[in-house]
Structure 1
Amino acid sequence: MERLPIFYVATDPLRALGIEDLYENFHVICVDYTDIVDMLIEKGVSVFCIEKELGGDIIVRNSRKLLLHDAVQEFILKRSVDEVGIIFFKPLFSLEKVIAETPLGKSRTIRSLNASPAVSSLLENKLNFVRMCKEHQIPHPPSRVEHLNNLHFDSLSQEFGERMVVQFERGWFGNRTFFLESESDLFSLRDQYSNRKVKVSQFIPGTTLTINAVVSESEVYQTYPFIQINDDMNEEVPLARMEGSTVGNVWTDLVPYFSTKTKDVVFDIGRITVKLATIARDLGYRGFFGLDFLVDEHARVYAQEMNPRFTASAQMITQLEQEVCGSSLLNEHYKSFGITINDTMIDDPYFFTKQLKGMRVISRNTEASQVIINHTPPNGVYVGGDQRIEFISSQYTVGGLTKDEFLLLTIGDGRSVSSNEQLFEIQSLEMFPEDVINHARTIKKEQF
């Protein structure tokens, strides 16, 4: 019996990867044409890249428009008979409603392989997350939800101290996170964003940790916590435009960070993860999600936010999990929607808490406006030395990297990149974190 055809729809082909070597009826539908598309096709992966097929003048920059494009619908229809599975990196719309009157919707049974966008939106809302944590007694930094125009710096500083964090209900990679240290900071924020409803929190110095997890009808699977990297804004070559922006992750032993408190930190994060996953399940959510935690100097754990979708780290961590665990959370995501990727039966909810090793660093457009990027270096393996960085071979996975090598994944030539959007990513298995970050700064300075 032929397996259900799965079509992963994304602007960036890298977002779709993870099961292409394990599931024979898997198809990538993407916008961006880079050399990675050709690598995938050469490897035998089914890919429809709209820029490659129809030319670079096709302006389709979101998954909804991409799915509705006539050429994409034709591609799916030719590779399916009755039922099709559709999956997105971050679903923002009701698949059934959008596709109902299209040729695909009229002639195929569509199975969505993402959680409900409405439920996802509710869980991702940072203002709602505060309420949810208070209601369920989940530790969260002391916070208040209020309209900007109703805030007064003196009363805020009495409540939260000299430094505060302001966040909007939605934001990505720290682009809607602001820091208040004076009344003028508050006035500036009001002038820029008028009377927005925001979350104001006490600024707590500490270490930010992330976990990825999957919630199904009966189980919650989660990873071992890993480090989230925020950029140093005092560097000559910044990797992000705004303070608080995430620029990567490190998978490593946490003992150097928390010493004898490490087991307590990991236990608390695991307990909170199960609690939040259960809340999400009760709301109707299932599948892959991420959680960010803050751990202060006393090893107290605070839940910061929930990302009810695939996370930016999913592409790399799936490779690490497959190598170390023999399966991945991504496989469990598909399983939660009735799709079996491999024969591995996992009964232990802590199966994926094995220690992984690796690092990823991203660089963003730090200009205030969009830029056109030309002459990008090729995607693949590089070796980094003291004097220069040298290209070794074309590749899009971290498998086989030596301690002196890293993987560079860039956008394509001629790409228009908005402010704070990603320019490239570096992935490494064994390099020291500071070396990977330095290579990222060098590449940004010399190539972008």
Structure 2
Amino acid sequence: MEEENGGKPEAEAEGEKRWRFGANKALAAAGGRSIRGTLNKVIACVEETGPRPMITLGNGDPSLFPSFRTTPIAEDAIVEAVRSAQYNNYAPTNGLLPARQAVAEYLSKDLPYQLSPDDVFITAGCAQAIEIVITALARPDANILLPRPGFPMYEARCTFNHVEMRHFDLIPEKGWEFDLDQVEKLADENTVAIVLINPNNPCGSVLKYEHMKEIAKTAMKLGIMVISDEVYDHLTFGSNPFVPMGALGDIVPVITLGSISKRWVVPGWRLGWIITTDPKHILRKTKFVDSIRSYLDITTDPATFIQGAVPQMINNTKADFFNNIIHVLRDSAEISYNRIKDIKCITCPHKPEASMFVMVKLNMSYLDNISDDVEFCSKLAKEESVIVLPGSALEMKNWLRITFAVEPTSLVVAIERLESFCKRHERVEQISPG
């Protein structure tokens, strides 16, 4: 076309203005890694005129279901904060002092030392906490060690900030423990951090204290910090108790990320935190904390009235509320595991014992006319109106992440539809995986 127009671009040849702006390719690349983007593509496959309502086992938001409604304590705290007229103003960039004090006291209960409000930075949910920490770490040639499978927000933020990602494997046969030999081989002089998610999304596992100590020692040996994503803290119902990584802060500096989203079942309230669990003050000596403060000065804050409600929420919520949520999750995890393990084409290597998810592996040799996990999820959505997340979104091709934090009756129906789908697409003659 340029030759036909005397070498000029087509737009100029036709007398049109050539604009100098366009899409940000880094944003497009980062957005392509998101869970939301992947799920939206799967949901688009659902037949609008289908005879059955859609059931989503794709994301970790059970707040719409009656069994997972938040406590009235939290709702009353929000109402009182709004009606007090004390929280209509801007908050300090690191968060309101009472909110930081309440979070510090809440987290200190599980630590061998007392956190200070100065160790706490309030954020707009855990997602913004990830954004801030990855941005603060970004520098030319830096790389970060990320778990596979993991939470793709880390990959998205690394992509946007031009930070190299190096993935190490979690081992399903060992309860999704770290492959620490691989971690050491991946690290070099430009490695700045390793990410840990515990309790785990997407695996539904809880790390043992002994293994966490080995992770801390490995990070210390490599001279890197640990970013510990603990947004599902205490949502455990198996044999392994939750231990915060900050308990090992005397071995290696730990940045702990968390929020009220999951334990109080209010993800839309967008209140999270960054914690420097670092009794030796290495993060301050290296000026990393200064980078966090600098970023907070140029970003948005969580709503002030939400911050104002935090002390009442944390201090007044009864144990019965938390115990009930755990009870429902435990029952739902049992339903998922026991029913899914009877489906031929799906293998569940580890029974979920925490969070809201389970990772299962597809055996493609049992399936006909389905090429991979993305096609499996797309056809499942179209034929059964059931939504699950393809493992490819988590760097795990031909795996699925299934959310069991839904109403138990809906969960049973969804798994029945999943089983029907698998039977309908079952290969008559099984082919060898090799």
Fold agreement, TM-score > 0.5: no
The structure with the largest alpha-carbon Rg is: 2
Compare relative contact order (CA 8 Å, sep 6+) and give the higher one, 1 or 2.
2
More helix by share: 2
More strand by share: 1
What TM-score, normalized to structure 2? 0.29
What TM-score, normalized to structure 1? 0.29
